[in-house]
Amino acid sequence: MYKEGKWASQIIALQEEDGKWGWFHSLSQFYNSPITTEQALRRLQILGFTIEDECIQKAVQYMNDCLIGKKMIPDRREKVHDWDVFTSLILSTWIRRFKRGNREADSVAGKWAEVITRGFQTGCYNREEYISAYQKVLKPCGGRILEPYSFYQVSIVSDCLDSRIEETYLDYLIHRETGIYYIYGSRISCPPPDLRSRNASSYLGAIELLADYKHAGAHLGFAADWLLDNRKENGMWDMGAAAKDNLYFPLSDNWRSEKTREFDCTKRVNELVSRLMRHSQ
């Protein structure tokens, strides 16, 4: 239903012939596109698009070409961190969010899994061990260290860690004061006080990301309980008009009807609660 809606149509109409949408990561410079490739992919995934859809196939092929050096993303090379390490991470993350089995992307995921494993092998986060493995495995040419708590690292290793490391890593992410970079900036173990808010929608984004881990259910039961406690008497959820952020919501073409908004919110929450409960079994 959402794949046939106006939001998806608007994004697909902006896709370029080679599969990209202007800049890949940053809108800091002028380009004839109001959306980055990352923004387009994130929104399309939320709307239900998969590797079976032509627009995603084109984008994945474009990202693969950039990853293996046949093409280059148009973004200006940043000097804050090693640009090659960063771009291989973001390209591989987005490829793997739609398709497993890509040799280059899976290789990058394996390297990050090795680095994170070293950083968490003692049962807690050891930054010195993490940096040592980072330098040895990723071989950056200077720049700032990419810490293990951004959307990219959390996403790319979700199926790469052994059970002990995964549980330690999840515990670390859930209790970080500033959450997951690029997704949610507060402690994940403390749900927002009000479900009817944009902040709560971002919070669900963090839980949805962590729910990709096989041990998520054992660590995120509090989030499922919070959602169930906030269900309306009619069995539905409503996150309010303030949740509209043009990323997670709206899913339907408009929210002029409260029932439509309630349907969108309930669909999202139901899917998340089902994932958490499935993991906990």
**C-alpha count within 13 angstroms, C-beta hemisphere, residue 155:** 25
Rounded Cα distance, 260 and 253, in Å: 9
What tokens appear for 226 in the block? 């919070």
What tokens appear for 76 in the block? 């200006």
What's the confidence (pLDDT) of residue 79?
84
Question: Are 97 and 42 contacting, i.e. CB atoms less than 8 angstroms apart?
Answer: no
What's the confidence (pLDDT) of residue 237?
98
Q: Which of 259, 204, 264 is nearest to 5 (CA)?
A: 264
Q: Which of 217, 219, 218, 225 is nearest to 269 (CA)?
A: 225
Question: Are 230 and 239 contacting, i.e. CB atoms less than 8 angstroms apart?
Answer: no
Question: Are 238 and 232 contacting, i.e. CB atoms less than 8 angstroms apart?
Answer: yes
Helix (H, G, I), strand (E, B) or coil at 184: strand
Q: At what angle do helices 37-46 and 83-98 cross, to 10 degrees?
A: 20
Question: Are 233 and 219 contacting, i.e. CB atoms less than 8 angstroms apart?
Answer: no
The pLDDT averaged over each successive group of 10 residues in the chain (281 residues) is 94 96 75 84 98 98 98 89 96 98 98 98 98 98 95 98 98 98 97 97 98 94 96 96 96 95 97 86 60
Residue 181's beta-bridge partner residues? Answer: 150
Query: In whole angstroms, what separates CA 233 from the centre of its chain?
Result: 31
Sequence-distant (≥ 6) Cβ neighbours of residue 108 within 8 angstroms: 67, 88, 89, 92, 156
What tokens appear for 257 in the block? 């009807």
What's the confidence (pLDDT) of residue 279?
64
Rounded Cα distance, 5 and 260, in Å: 13
Query: In whole angstroms, what separates CA 37 from the centre of its chain?
Result: 14
